[in-house]
Amino acid sequence: MTGLVTWARLKSPWLFHFNSASCNNCDIELVDAITPRFDVERFGILVEGSPRHADILVVTGFVNRQAAPRLRRIYEQMSNPKIVIALGSCATSGGIFANSYNAAGPVDRVIPVDVYIPGCPPRPQAIIDGVVKALMKLQSLGGGKK
C-alpha cells in the first residue's frame, strides 16, 4: 500500500507558486516550463490555483517584509505531505537584494526549504531538474514531512 502511495506522490506533484518580491524572471521561467517547449504536464506536474490543492510550494523572490507573514500562512495552509522549493538566487540567498532594508528572507529564514534552485533566472531545464530532485527527496523521506 505504501508503495502505491509513494508512486502516486511521485507521479502527481502539484505546484503552488508564490512570488515574494521577485523580479518576475524566475516566475516566467516557471511558467515557461508548462509551455509546449518543455511541457511538464508530461510528468504530471500541474500548477494549481489554491495552496490547499498543492504538494509543492515554489517560492521565488527574496521575501520582503510584506511577504514574510503571508508566506508563512500559505505554507501552513498547505496540507501534508508538502515540499518547499526555493527558486532562483534571490530565494536561495537574497541575491542582489540581500542587503536591502526590506529583506525578511531569504526563504529558509521564513519556512523550511527542501530544494534550492539557484540561477538568475534558472533555466526551465534547471527547474525541472530541481523538481525531480524534490520528488526524489520525497521518495527517500518515505512520503514527505510529518
Partner 1 sequence: MDWLYIVKLIVYVVLVGVVAAPNIGLFFTWMHRKLGARMQWRIGPPLYQPWADVVKLLSKETIIPATAHKTTFLVAPPLAVASAVLAIVIMTPFAPPVQVYHISFTGDVIVVLYLLTMPAIAAMIGGSASGNPYASVGVQREMTLIFAYELPFIMAALVPILKVGSLRLADIIGYQLEHGPILFSVSGFLACVVLIMVMQAKLTLPPFDIPDAKTEIVAGPYTEYSGASLALFKLAHAVMLFAVPLFISDLCLGGLIVRSLSDPVTLTLDIVLIVVKLVVLVLIAAFIRFFNPRIRIDQAFGMFWKTATVIAVVALALSFVPLPYF
Partner 2 sequence: MPAEKPESRLEKTVELPIGPYHPAYKEPEMFKLYVDGEEIVDAKIRIGYQHRGIEYLAQRMTIQQIVFLVERICGICSTSHPICFCQAVEDAMNLEVPDRARYIRVLIGELERIHSHLLWAGVALHLIGYDTLFMYFWRYREPVCELLEELTGNRQHYAMICPGGVRRDIDLKKMKPKILRVLDEIKEPIAKVGEAVAKDKLVKARMVGVGVLTKQDALKYCTVGPTARGSGLKIDVRVDEPYAAYKEVGVDIKVLSEGDVMAKTLVRVLEVLESIEIIKRCLDAMPNGPIKAEFKEYPVAEGVGKYEAPRGEDIHYVRLQGTTVPYRLKVRAPTYANLPSLVPQLIGESIADAPIIIGSIDPCFSCTERVSVVDVKEGRTLTLTMSEFNEFGRKRKNPLKVK
Residues that bind partner 2 (CB under 8 A): 17-29, 31-32, 35-37, 47-50, 62, 64-67, 70, 74, 95-97, 99-103, 120-121, 123
- In whole angstroms, the minimum distance from the beta carbon of 66 to partner 2 comes to 5
> Rule CB under 8 A: which of 51-90 touch partner 1?
52-53, 55, 77-81
Query: For the chain, what's the residue count?
Result: 146
Is the CB of 58 or the CB of 78 nearer to partner 1? 78
CA-CA-CA-CA torsion sign (28, 34, 35, 40)? positive
Q: By C-alpha distance, which of 4, 3, 5, 10 is closest to 138?
A: 10
* Residues 9, 12: Cα–Cα separation, whole Å: 5
101 binds, among partner 1, partner 2, none (CB under 5 to 8 A by kind): partner 2
Burial (Cβ within 10 Å: 0-12, 13-18, ≥19) of residue 7: exposed
Number of residues that bind partner 1 (CB under 8 A): 27
Is the CB of 13 or the CB of 121 nearer to partner 2? 121
| Cα 78–chain centre separation | 12
Binding site for partner 1 (CB under 8 A): 4-5, 7-9, 11-12, 35-36, 39, 41-44, 48-50, 52-53, 55, 77-81, 143, 146
